Amino acid sequence: MNKSFFPLLAGTCSLLLSFAGVASAQQHEAVSNPPFALLHGPYLQEVTTEAATVVYETSDKAFSWVEVKPHGAADEEARRCLTSRDGLFDAYNAFGSVRIHNLQPASQYDYRIVSKQMLQFQPYKVTFGDSITTPWYTFSTINPKKKGASIFVTSDIHGDAAKLEKLLQLADYRSCDAFFYAGDMMNYINSHELPFTSFIDSSVKLFASSIPFEVVRGNHETRGNMARSYSTYFPKENGKIYGSYLLGDVMIVMLDSGEDKREDHWVYAGLTNFDAYRSEQAEWLKQLIQTEAYRKARYRIIISHFPMVMDTQWKEEKEWYGWDDAIRKFLPVLNEANVDLLVSGHTHRYFYHEKGSDGNRFPVLKQGHDSAARLELHDGKIHLKVIDTKGTILKEAIL
């Protein structure tokens, strides 16, 4: 045998082994580094007659923007929307939101997210990686002339996303115009992923890329070492968690009732300031109910995590200072505000308090932790239906 064959064979094997090594490394890289992608969302927040916010998260740090166009228009008609702060576009972030302005009322739009992965972000060198462009999603701005609404409300999901999906299905979410979560959708917030796995991802799967959900904070969502990032998931132009939402002739007021115990309770470790916060909201509420928008609304619905009544059983159990403080500060204002219905959670027990049952001049629904309410607002009346996870109708009434 030609002796020179062996080195050649050895060289070939080396080359083959070398190729195998590269292939193996690439496979390993493919396993350890999944392709750049959209990780969460997009979901809509604070859609009004002329604006909407898109929230998203990519799998890696990136430079992202939203493209928006009238529904069905050519791609070339899309305009680019970015978040700009102090002269700099948001960049080198995975989680982000973009407020789209200058929309027309009662109009349909298509939007998509375009994102460029940022591999390096040095002072004088930026290296982009892969790019993604999502499919187009469609949404509508609020129609100020719309009469009535079909509204879904639930609360106290406490991280059980499957339960949320079940309740949405049972309440026929496809025919709802608006979705409100009345607090305690999580037990606490101690990781960035938790809000997504608890309820945001499920909402996106079913509707939230096209119709926004609005959140009212529950007392559990004030707990945990990431509770202070709560509002970044649900951004509002005014930076507040509480607020009002006008859907045509329906005024929704969202109160943030805070914690249920005294500020000096050991659970809070001296880190809460809810007494002052509730006072601030009460003053805001007094002003809101004097506005033309509030007074002219045909329906006025309040959503609050704490019910604005506390039945005897709870009063006797122990002192609930924070809950009581919310009632003391909000109820007198609400009693003068021609409220049609207050929807709440917190107690985990369904109960319907008739108007006038405990100093309340409007009915108060406590929907329980295994149920959801559907409100049909038509012809000046509220058709209320409360359904639990077994499909049992707990309440059906016309208010």
The least distance separating Fe ion from the CB of residue 164, rounded to whole angstroms, comes to 13
The least distance separating Fe ion from the CB of residue 172, rounded to whole angstroms, comes to 25
Q: Binding of Fe ion at residue 370 (CB under 5 A)? A: no
Radius of gyration of the chain (CA): 26
Select from 132-140, 148-156, 203-211, 355-363 the region that touches Fe ion (CB under 5 A).
Answer: 148-156
Q: Which two tokens stand for residue 52?
A: 């909407």
The least distance separating Fe ion from the CB of residue 346, rounded to whole angstroms, comes to 6
Residue 156 or 388 with smaller CB distance to Fe ion: 156
Kind plus residue range of the DSSP H or E element containing 181: strand 178-181
Q: How far apart are CA 59 and CA 131, in angstroms?
A: 11
How wide is the angle at C-alpha 382 spanned by C-alphas 380 and 384, nearest 5°? 170
Per CB under 5 A, the list member of 177, 184, 214, 221 interacting with Fe ion is: 184
Q: Binding of Fe ion at residue 156 (CB under 5 A)? A: yes
Beta-strand pair 243-247/350-353: unpaired
Select from 56-64, 182-190, 201-209, 266-274 the region that touches Fe ion (CB under 5 A).
Answer: 182-190
Pick from 124, 123, 107: nearest CA to 73: 107
Residue 156 or 256 with smaller CB distance to Fe ion: 156
Query: Going by C-beta distance under 8 Å and a sequence separation of 6 or more, which residues neighbour residue 62?
Result: 36, 91, 92, 93, 94, 115, 116, 117, 118
Q: Binding of Fe ion at residue 214 (CB under 5 A)? A: no
Q: How far apart are CA 193 and CA 190, in angstroms?
A: 9
The site map against Fe ion for 103-142 (x = CB under 5 A) is: ----------------------------------------
The least distance separating Fe ion from the CB of residue 34, rounded to whole angstroms, comes to 35
Residue whose Cβ sits closest to Fe ion = 184
The least distance separating Fe ion from the CB of residue 219, rounded to whole angstroms, comes to 7
Residue 69 or 158 with smaller CB distance to Fe ion: 158
Determine how many CB atoms are found less than 10 A away from the CB of residue 43: 25
CA distances from 168 to 142, 158, 173, 282, 387 (A): 22, 15, 5, 32, 10
Pick from 55, 147, 67, 76: nearest CA to 109: 67
Pick from 61, 49, 73: nearest CA to 127: 61
Select from 19-27, 98-106, 135-143, 154-162 the region that touches Fe ion (CB under 5 A).
Answer: 154-162
- 164 and 345 in contact (C-beta within 8 Å)? no
The least distance separating Fe ion from the CB of residue 252, rounded to whole angstroms, comes to 21
Q: How far apart are CA 258 and CA 80, in angstroms?
A: 38
Residue 52 or 327 with smaller CB distance to Fe ion: 327
Determine how many CB atoms are found less than 10 A away from the CB of residue 139: 22
Q: How many residues bind Fe ion (CB under 5 A)?
A: 2
Find the binding residues for Fe ion in span 14-73 (CB under 5 A): none
The least distance separating Fe ion from the CB of residue 273, rounded to whole angstroms, comes to 21
Select from 65-73, 126-134, 178-186, 228-236 the region that touches Fe ion (CB under 5 A).
Answer: 178-186
Select from 159-167, 183-191, 261-269, 335-343 the region that touches Fe ion (CB under 5 A).
Answer: 183-191
The least distance separating Fe ion from the CB of residue 348, rounded to whole angstroms, comes to 6
Pick from 196, 261, 206, 222: nearest CA to 39: 196
Residue 54 or 372 with smaller CB distance to Fe ion: 372
Kind plus residue range of the DSSP H or E element containing 130: strand 125-133
Residue 184 or 259 with smaller CB distance to Fe ion: 184
Q: Which two tokens stand for residue 182?
A: 């009345």
Residues at the contact surface with Fe ion, assessed by CB under 5 A: 156, 184
